Amino acid sequence: MRTSSLNSGEAMDLSLFQIGMSRSVKVAHDLALPRDERLGLNISLTAEDSKSRKDAIASSANLDLLRSFAVTLVVGFHLAKFFNFRFAGLRITDFGLLGVMLFFVHTTLVLMFSLERQSARPGAPLFLPFIVRRCFRIYPLALAVVLFVFLFHIPSDLQFGKFNLLHQSASNLLANLLLVQNVTQQKANPGILWSLPLELQMYLALPALFLFATRVRWWGMVAFWWFAVAAWYAIGFSTGMLPLSEGLIRSPAEAFLKFTRFAPCFLPGLVAYKLWHKPRAFPAFCWPVFLAGCCALFVWVSGSRPIEAGWFICFAIGLGVCFFREIRSPAITRLTKQIARYSYGIYLLHYFAIWVAFVVFRRLNVVMSAAIFLAVLVSLSVLLYHAIEAPLIGVGVKVSEKSMRRRFVSGLNRHPIKSTPQIFSDETGSL
């Protein structure tokens, strides 16, 4: 889980979304290209406009808080699951699921702004550079974790009260390396990887959804979300596939329903994108209260269908994030910014940290084990971010920049202009 994937951590560090652009350059006017050469978008962004919008979302403490809240829910749930905490009437499994779904909302919103900045370049392709950057963002750390777990036989199948060692076949290992476990019906190892295939598959549709979002008003995106939910239920009931089984896929209709089951968790990010620059009506302190209220409501109404219930909570958060003024508390903003930056590592590595602290060092008292858990989780997340995540993100940016630059030069040859604005700066920037 994007989903990043979702930047303050991109899908995890919003600052990594920068694309090196020069000073204010009116792309649409200076290049004087016809609308169809601007990817058919009904927008005319300047580089300065794009930068200001990027700065606004990159510095959003509210989004940092949303991402920090999501990863805290996931880690907290897995700690509770390991210690076998069970409460009558309280489904603690719902907390972890909600955290993953909040990641999906956040990731989609952030990636809409990334695609917006990419589309501001004349003739720039959307799909391939976007997918290249996302692959370099998601795969490197995931591959490292999968190989580490496999080579050192780390128990990474978390059940209530214990970790089990999953004996991997070659096909299971390959599915985990490629992050296609839901396609091949293989078990995720470590188990937390179950959400990443969903995020990667959603990336395939995001450029098209972005183009659609640029053509409709905010209420059109709201209507589209309701249409998607209604269509999913209509297909499910008309084919007799609801409630969905947890076993093998038996028909094309069931395959469609299972592969799109989390789509209504991603789509609220598009609603938030359309509403992002609307006036903020509510004070900042209400934003964390709103998140806590959504969490409580989710646990109350989830019942036997927590994923479907989560759709509506995600929709509420996609709407709500745009109506609260930004948090200004220096202490909160510094803390949530750091958590959000390293949240992808925290997400992938917290199984290992729990296992080390509370299984390997189980003979220590709980205070010492908790200290080891925090030390392992924080140190590895920070170390691997700077050793693997950030460098490979930079490589992905360079690869995608080259393809975009070639397309840009090709566009200039077809549409010569008197003076060429400096759209690409000397610094590559980072995604």
- Asked if 306 contacts 97 with a C-beta cutoff of 8 angstroms, the reply is yes
Instruction: List pLDDT tens digits, range 110-147.
Output: 999 999 998 887 777 899 999 999 999 999 999 999 99
Backbone torsions φ then ψ of 249, nearest 5 degrees: -80, 130
Beta bridge partner(s), residue 159: 162
Measured distance CA(312)–CA(228) in Å, rounded: 12
Mean pLDDT over the full length of the chain: 83
Percent of the chain with pLDDT over 90: 66
pLDDT at 128: 93
Three-class HEC string of 336-405: HHHHHHCHHHHHHHHHHHHHHHHHHCCCCCHHHHHHHHHHHHHHHHHHHHHHHHHHHHHHHHHHHHHHHH
Boundaries of every domain in the chain? 14-414
CA 169 from chain centre, in angstroms, equals 29
Cβ atoms of 315 and 271 within 8 Å: the answer is yes
Q: At what angle do helices 93-119 and 47-58 cross, to 10 degrees?
A: 160
Q: Residue 159 and residue 101: Cα distance in Å, rounded?
A: 21
* Collapsed DSSP state (helix, strand, coil) of residue 231: helix
Task: Specify whether the CB–CB gap between 97 and 81 falls below 8 A.
Answer: no
Neighbours of 402 (CB within 10 A): 13
To the nearest 10 degrees (0 to 180), the angle between helices 206-213 and 268-275 is: 40
User: CA–CA separation, 297 vs 292, rounded Å?
Assistant: 9
- Residue 65 zone, left/alpha/beta (φ > 0; ψ -120 to 50; rest): alpha
Alpha carbon of residue 363 to chain centroid? 37
- In angstroms, rounded to a whole number, what is the distance separating the alpha carbons of residues 17 and 22? 15
pTM for the full model? 0.82
DSSP states of 142-169: HHHHHHHHHHTT---EEETTEEE-----
Pairing label, strands 157-159, 162-164: antiparallel
Please say whether the beta carbons of 388 and 144 come within 8 A.
Answer: yes
Question: What token pair was written down for 306?
Answer: 């927590």
Q: What is the pLDDT along the chain (431 residues), one digit of tens a residue?
A: 444 333 333 333 333 333 333 333 333 333 333 333 333 333 334 444 555 555 556 679 999 999 999 999 999 999 999 998 876 666 667 789 999 999 999 999 999 999 999 888 777 789 999 999 999 999 999 999 999 999 999 999 999 889 999 988 999 999 999 999 999 999 999 999 999 999 999 999 999 999 999 999 999 999 999 999 999 999 999 999 988 887 778 888 899 999 999 999 999 999 999 999 999 999 999 999 999 999 999 988 887 789 999 999 999 999 999 999 999 999 999 999 999 999 999 999 999 999 999 999 999 999 999 999 999 999 999 999 999 999 999 999 999 888 777 655 555 455 444 333 332 233 333 33
Q: Could you read off the pLDDT of 196-222 as tens digits, one per residue?
A: 999 999 999 999 999 999 999 999 999
Collapsing DSSP to helix, strand or coil, 422 comes out as: coil
